Amino acid sequence: MFFTISSFVLVSFAFVSVWSSFKIKGQPLWLWFLFFGMCVGLYAQVLLPLSILWVGLALLGFFGLYKFPHSRAWIFWPLAVYLLLMGMRLLPGFPIIVFVEPIALGRSNFPVDLHYDLSKPIAGLLAFALIAERCTGYRDVWKCFTQVSNWFIPTLVVLVCAVILGVPFDAKFVWWTPLFILSNIIFSVIPEEAFFRGFLQQPLQKKFGKTIWILPVVGILFAAVHSVPPHVTAWKFYILFGLAGSAYAWSFQRTSKTETAIFTHTAVNAFHFLFLTYPVYFFYKST
């Protein structure tokens, strides 16, 4: 288990070091952490040999974007689809690792566990480091964070809408709450935000400017890639996730920094986990 955890930790360091300008032998620090994380992951069988092919193809796609700018459109969209498939766990070679066994939280009757694989984090890391509009350093990240209104207001709107739709209050804290929030940021939130900002919202804004209709479009697409749990009312689920996706898009539109959307997304997930029923479900009202 030591090497399994080590591989995830090294990939986590890769995300954190994206904002570092330090290089080793001309290569950015995040790439070295990714390389060693994958090496350890292969040893621990967190990655299977086939996964190296998928990651190599993704890197080749990004290389093509920079090497052949005149053919950018022909590479950009296939690469976006490819990373989406990778992030949605549709490519084999990335075994799922369960860190916390299923357990019911608070008043919820639906157990939740803590499980991840490296397909979504690696896909998201490449998008975040190589294409997403982001902060240039740690000071810039802090500056984005201190502009509280850009991420707290949309967070509040999403949570209020969740309560209106019928998500019950349920304050709770379990021993692995900090682990959930931290791992959720690195292995779920950042990859999703890097993809939706880098491959969807950025191209739309460059072509049409910061127009308001982009927000619901990105929100609808964000909801569409999430599957409805069997115990959840589908239309409420898609409305809530569509609103959340639009809120994250609004945060990005305010600053053109992916980190602002990451702060909003993180705050929504953290407050949901701590103060509302988790996983999400809605009150069923009798008619």
Lowest mean pLDDT among 148-162, 206-220, 233-247, 271-285: 271-285
For residue 255, which of 149, 125, 129 has the smallest C-alpha distance?
Answer: 149
Position 106 scores a pLDDT of 86
Mean pLDDT, the chain, rounded, equals: 94
Domain borders along the chain are: 2-275
The reply to whether omega before 121 is within 30° of 0 (cis) is: no
- Taking 90 as the threshold, does the pLDDT of residue 95 lie above it? yes
Give the torsion sign (CA, 76, 78, 79, 83).
positive
Summarised one tens digit per residue, pLDDT across range 49-82 is 999 999 999 999 999 998 998 888 899 999 999 9
pTM of the model: 0.94
- The reported pLDDT for the residue numbered 286 is 37
The rounded percent of the chain whose pLDDT value lies above 70 is 99
Amino acid at 281: Y
110: Cβ contacts below 8 Å, ≥ 6 apart: 104, 229, 231, 279, 281
CA nearest neighbour of 123 among 145, 93, 101: 93
Q: What is the spatial distance between Cα 113 and Cα 108, in angstroms, rounded to a whole number?
A: 13
What's the pLDDT score for residue 284? 55
What is the Cα–Cα distance from 145 to 148, expressed in whole angstroms?
6
pLDDT digits (tens, 9 = 90+) for 124-173: 999 999 999 999 999 999 999 999 999 999 999 999 999 999 999 999 98
